[in-house]
Chain A
Amino acid sequence: MMITFLTVCTIRQLPQALALGESLQQHHPKDAFIVGLCDDLLNLPTGFQIPFPLVSINELTIPDLDQLSQQYTPAEFVAACKPLFIKHIYRHRSQTDWVIYLDPSVYLYQPLADLPSQYANATLLLTPHLLKPVTDTAFPDEKFLQNVGLYSSGFLALKRTAEAARFLDWWSSRVPERAFACPCEGMYTDQIWLVLTPGLFDGVVIVKNPAWHLGLWNLHERASIENAPVIFLNYKGIIDQEGYFQAQNRVRISAYPAIKKRLLAYQNRVHYFDRKDLSSSLSAFIPAYGKQAFKPPLRGWRKKTVEKLHQTVKFIETVDVPRKMNN
């Protein structure tokens, strides 16, 4: 069985992508890893060498690239192009049995050993953000997940089947123009679309192995027991300001010593790749595409105050005040 792993990233995420590549080389030495660069190739520092095959956005020939760049934030722009990268690589690596997308911020700790046995009849594997109902009142709650999507698009595994190809055609035709983070319109990057896939495509499997895809959004249900197994962990929002959970207030990394230890080791690797043989650090590069300014979500006292004020406005709007009777 052959797997092609791929990630899609900007230049500033390359150190993460290289750390991911290192973990894949360790646990999947026979499988390929490709980096999709969703950034301007010309901005790469001279002399920068990457030990993995690289596909740049220029090879995808996106006709309305400028328009997309104008209308999106950097994160939305990457999300808009991601399905096109996956489709491109799925097509060009026709000899592989599985194509697996991983966020650059993922690090693999064990091989995906279940893949050939447990998911032999699958076409598409999805990892839910949560596997269990939320029992507290912290953020994000389940409503918020409904808005951003229940399945994380930080991982996607596609078995080489006609059905997986049909999924890619559908996804890559919907997302590029509709990758806005705009829940009122039913949109949320490339991710929310995955919610429809169990209905639309056959062989969509919801992976319920708690060791797959730990992240800021689920450590409370995955990492609270000591020695909880970890196959792969996504450091999105932990090591950077990416992702949709910047305002989360459920999880503190320090409460999970085993995760904290992994994080420190991971930070070292990322730091190493960030400056390796380079005069300037990669993580300082501004993405070339996605011209709209990203507005970080409110957090802390500011968030609480705004929520309270909204409630007050709602009260003023709806409170029943009987009209003065004129007798």
Chain B
Amino acid sequence: MTLAFTICSINYLAQARTLGDSLRQTNPDWHYVIGLVDKLDQANLPASLLPDYPMLEVDQIEIEDFAGMCNRYDITELNTAVKPFYIDYFFKHRPEATEVIYFDPDIIVFQPLTRLKQHLGEYNLVVTPHICQPINDWLIPNELNHLNTGTFNLGFIGLQKTEESNRFVQWWKKRLVNECRIDLCNGLFVDQHWVNFAPIYYDKVWIEKHPGYNTAYWNLHERHFSEQNGIWKVNETSDLQFFHYSGYGVHKPQEISKYQNRFTFEDRPDVVPLFELYRQRLLDNQNETYRNYPCFYIKPPKVLYYQQVRKSLKSPINALISTLENR
């Protein structure tokens, strides 16, 4: 059995449902689970808002230091940090799941993923690089940004359940307990940067360059879209497998993504229908209602008082640091 899952909080359930609907349509024999980084009994969702898909709350998956992780991480960091913990849980508790596939909630699957299924019979892991062709400008995101944040996009990863995959998951878990932060100067970018190591440390990692996989703002420079007889094609020849609407918001429908400044919908009329379709599906799946639910695990931002005192305490220490550094 193939198990596909996503991770989100209640505010993103419209996305998770949209992904689930697309999987149900294209890959009906797959099992789909929503990993919920939130608490249902606190949110008290009305029945009309309960998705038609099983939800697995994060406090049910036996994360050893979950309280500590909640303290250390913000919402992005926390939602990404629990990814290998969910995979580990499925490996342990869903013995019938021979393949486990993670998708970010803001993805739509367009086709039966037969190629992926085939690769997961042969390889331990399947990952997708952000770019398969060089980017020849320095707009955002550029090659330096990818060097800083990770070669592979971790909005998707496929794993065959094997000992080698399990070794990868255990290693990844260990790193994400404390170091799923965004700290570029120290080599950290959530769960994603770590996975640069995957093809080095682990055998049989398939680096998927099929242009229909994980299409998103970061690879639009190498991918063009067209619809032929109701089927979406990439670069005329390949079937679109799944589109990742990262950084797109129903409330900024004029922007392809808040994380990029290279393309506009005017430059890229080919993607307009793909985004219109997504926007409509999110609205149909009650995006407007879900988005107002705050995440149970996110604390209000700390207000730091006594800035003046802090400053005067810091300044002699900083002076000492610079003396030591410049010996």
Interface residue ranges, A against B (CB under 8 Å): 128, 130-133, 142-147, 150, 170, 174, 178, 183-187, 192-193, 195-196, 198-200, 202, 206, 208, 298, 302, 305-306, 309-310, 312-313, 316-318, 320-323
Q: Complex formed: what's the CA distance from A256 to B146 in Å?
A: 38
B247 contacts partner chain A, Cβ-Cβ < 8 Å: no
Which of chain B's residues have a CB closer than 8 A to the CB of A199? 129-132, 151-152, 207, 209
**Looking at the complex, which one of A132, A195, A313 makes contact with B196 (CB distance below 8 Å)?**
A195
A213 to chain B, nearest CB (A): 13
Q: Which 10 residue pairs of A and B lie closest in terms of their CB atoms, listed nearest first?
A: A199-B129, A146-B187, A186-B144, A143-B187, A186-B148, A186-B147, A184-B185, A147-B187, A128-B200, A323-B305
By beta carbon, the residue of chain A nearest B175 is A142
Report B-chain residues with C-beta under 8 Å of the C-beta of A196: 129, 131, 143, 146-147, 151
In the complex, chain A residues whose CB is within 8 Å of the CB of B187 = 142-147, 183
Which residues of chain A come closer than 8 Å to B304, judged between CB atoms? Answer: 317-318, 320-321
18 of the cross-chain contacts (CB-CB < 8 Å) are A132-B201, A146-B187, A146-B193, A147-B185, A150-B196, A183-B185, A186-B145, A186-B184, A196-B143, A199-B130, A206-B200, A298-B324, A306-B321, A309-B320, A312-B317, A313-B317, A313-B318, A321-B304
Instruction: Report yes or no: B199 in contact with A206, Cβ–Cβ below 8 A.
Output: yes
Contact (A198, B151) CB under 8 Å given A146-B187, A312-B317, A317-B310: yes
Inter-chain pairs besides A183-B186, A298-B324, 7 sampled, C-beta below 8 Å: A142-B175, A187-B144, A196-B146, A199-B209, A313-B314, A313-B318, A316-B314
By a CB distance below 8 angstroms, the chain A residues around B129 are 196, 198-200
Kindly state the separation between the CA atoms of A128 and B314 in the bound complex, as whole angstroms: 40
A142 touches B197 (CB 8 A): yes
The docked-state distance in angstroms from the alpha carbon of A260 to that of B71 is 47
Inter-chain contacts of B191 with A (CB < 8 A): none
Mark B182-198 against chain A: 1 for CB-CB distance below 8 A, else 0: 00111110000110110
Q: In the complex, how many angstroms separate the beta carbon of A146 from the nearest chain B beta carbon?
A: 3
Q: What size tier do the contact residues of chain B reach?
A: 35 or more
Q: State whether A316 touches B188 (Cβ < 8 A).
A: no
| Chain A positions within 8 Å of B199 at CB level | 198, 206
A186 and B151 CA atoms in complex are apart in Å by: 12
Q: Is A147 touching B186 in the complex (CB atoms < 8 A)?
A: yes
CB distance from B165 to the nearest CB of A (A): 15
Closest A residue, CB atoms, query B318: A313
Q: Does B252 contact A (CB under 8 A)?
A: no
Chain B's closest residue to A144 (CB) is: B187
- Verify A183–B207 contact, CB threshold 8 A: no
Listed in ascending order, the chain B residues whose CB lies under 8 Å from chain A are: 129-134, 143-148, 151-152, 171, 175, 179, 184-188, 193-194, 196-197, 199-201, 207, 209, 302, 304-306, 310, 313-314, 317-318, 320-321, 324-325, 327
**Bound state CA distance, A125 and B114, in angstroms?**
31
**For residue B144, which residues in chain A have a CB less than 8 angstroms away from its CB?**
178, 185-187
Shortest CB-to-CB span from A194 to chain B, Å, is: 10
- A318–B317 Cα distance when bound, in Å, is 15
Q: Which residue of A lies closest to B313 (CB)?
A: A316
Question: Could you say which residues of chain A place their CB within 8 Å of the CB of B209?
Answer: 199, 202
B38 → chain A closest CB, angstroms: 25
B310 proximity list for chain A (CB < 8 A): 316-317
Alpha-carbon separation in the docked complex, A320 to B305 (Å): 8
Query: By the criterion CB–CB under 8 Å, are A321 and B306 in contact?
Result: yes
A316 partner residues in chain B, CB cutoff 8 A: 310, 313-314, 317
Nearest chain A CB to B153's CB is how many angstroms away?
10
Give the complex CA separation of A317 and B312 in angstroms. Answer: 11
Measured in the bound complex, the distance between the Cα atoms of B144 and A42 in whole Å is 37
Query: In the complex, which residues of chain B have a beta carbon less than 8 angstroms from the beta carbon of A305?
Result: 324
CA distance A144 to B187 in the complex (A): 6
Report the minimal beta-carbon distance from A198 to chain B, rounded to whole angstroms.
6
In the complex with contacts A186-B147, A200-B134, A306-B185 CB distance below 8 A: no
Q: Report the Cα distance A318→B302, complex, angstroms.
A: 9
Write out the residue numbers on chain B whose beta carbons fall within 8 Å of the beta carbon of A200: 129, 131-134
Residue in chain B with minimal CB distance to A204 = B207
Kindly list chain A residues whose C-beta atoms are within 8 Å of the C-beta of B130: 199
Contact of B147 among A128, A192, A309 (CB under 8 A): A192
How near does chain A come to B172, taking the closest CB pair, in angstroms? 10
Question: Contact between A321 and B200 (Cβ–Cβ < 8 Å)?
Answer: no
Query: Which listed residue (B171, B314, B324) contacts A302, Cβ 8 A?
Result: B324
Beta-carbon contact of B324 and A306 below 8 Å? yes
Note all chain A residues with C-beta closer than 8 A to B175. 142
Least Cβ–Cβ distance between A313 and chain B, in angstroms? 5
CA distance A313 to B319 in the complex (A): 11
- The distance from the CB of B306 to the nearest CB of chain A, in whole angstroms, is 6
- CB-CB under 8 A from B184, the residues of chain A are 183-184, 186
Task: Provide the residues of chain A in CB contact with B146, threshold 8 Å.
Answer: 186, 196
C-alpha gap A242/B20 in the complex (Å): 53
Max count, chain B CB within 10 A of own CB: residue among A132, A133, A174: A133
Nearest to B201 among chain A residues (CB) is A133
Determine the chain A residues whose CB is within 8 A of the CB of B194 once the complex forms.
142
Q: Which residues of B contact A133 (CB under 8 A)?
A: 171, 197, 201
Min distance, Cβ A174 to any Cβ of chain B, angstroms: 7
Are B325 and A298 in contact, with the CB atoms below 8 A?
yes
CB distance from A133 to the nearest CB of B (A): 5
Bound together, the chains give a CA A174 to CA B200 distance in angstroms of: 24
